Amino acid sequence: MYLVSACLAGFNTRYDGTNCLDERVKELVLSGKALPVCPEQLGGLTTPRPPVEFSSGDGASILDSWLDGEKKIFIRVFCCIAGGKPGPVDDAFITKALIKGAEETLRLARAYGIKKAIFKDGSPSCGAGYVHSGGQRRPGKGVTAELLGREGIEVAGIDSLQR
Ligand code: SF4
């Protein structure tokens, strides 16, 4: 059983209410081989929601600062409106939602004994190989992808699926 980004399976979970359907991922779900999940919805964010990216760093940076001090947090805020410029969003609220979504996704993965996730690249939550940070595309992982990886769950992009 895989965990897959819900938007890749055709669910309209993206920030703008659309999806990024990949037929191979949809087939995995329809055949009972994959469980679709949207970490940002699990974290309590609405759809649609403001597009966000990291102002610097990636999911690892957020988790490192979150874990510092046993969650008596001083959250370093990295989220901002796409383009690298701070926008009219509550950065702390969104950062916490990304972390909550990652934790909920991990709970789901553990409940189903899932060992591998196939995630949408570029997302601040699901990004498996690259993210958008400081207005640029950079190597790195989203918050959920990073947390799952730290907990021993393999995370890959859709390029890992055979065409
Ligand atoms: S958080 Fe993941 S599943 Fe949800 S819309 Fe973004 S990329 Fe897709």
Minimal CA–CA distance to 43: which of 13, 21, 69? 13
- Higher-pLDDT residue of 78 and 19 is 19
pLDDT tens digits, 98-156? 999 999 999 999 999 999 999 999 999 999 999 988 788 999 999 999 999 999 999 99
Is pLDDT of 37 > 60? yes
**Phi, psi dihedral angles at 138 (to 5 degrees):** -135, 155
Task: Write out the two tokens for 78.
Answer: 């990295």
State the pairing for strand pair 79-81/52-54: antiparallel
Task: Write out the two tokens for 32.
Answer: 């009972």
Task: Write out the two tokens for 36.
Answer: 């679709």
**SS3 state at 82:** coil
What pLDDT does residue 95 have? 84
Is pLDDT of 80 > 70? no
Ligand 1 atom closest to residue 123's alpha carbon, by position in its atom list: 7
Distance 5 CA to ligand 1 centre (A): 6
**With bands split at pLDDT 50, 70 and 90, how would you rate the model's confidence at 73?**
very low
What pLDDT does residue 117 have? 98
Percent of the residues in the chain that have a pLDDT greater than 70, as a whole number? 85
Contact between 11 and 35 under an 8 Å Cβ cutoff? The reply is no
- Say how many residues make up the chain: 163
* Separation between Cα atoms, residue 114 and residue 76, nearest integer Å: 30
- One-letter amino acid at 111 equals A
Task: Write out the two tokens for 35.
Answer: 């469980």
Distance 87 CA to ligand 1 centre (A): 20
Range from 20-29, 58-67, 83-92 that averages highest in pLDDT: 20-29
Distance 115 CA to ligand 1 centre (A): 19
Task: Write out the two tokens for 58.
Answer: 């990636």
Distance 66 CA to ligand 1 centre (A): 21
What pLDDT does residue 67 have? 66
Distance 71 CA to ligand 1 centre (A): 25
**SS3 state at 158:** helix
40, 47, 94, 121, best to mutate for ligand 1 pocket (most atoms within 8 Å of CB): 40
Contact between 3 and 35 under an 8 Å Cβ cutoff? The reply is yes
Average pLDDT, the chain: 88
Please state, in angstroms and as integers, the Cα–Cα distance from residue 96 to each residue in 43, 93, 108, 114, 149, following that order: 8, 5, 18, 24, 19
What pLDDT does residue 44 have? 96
Please state, in angstroms and as integers, the Cα–Cα distance from residue 152 to each residue in 40, 63, 94, 106, following that order: 21, 15, 25, 10
38, 47, 119, 158, best to mutate for ligand 1 pocket (most atoms within 8 Å of CB): 38
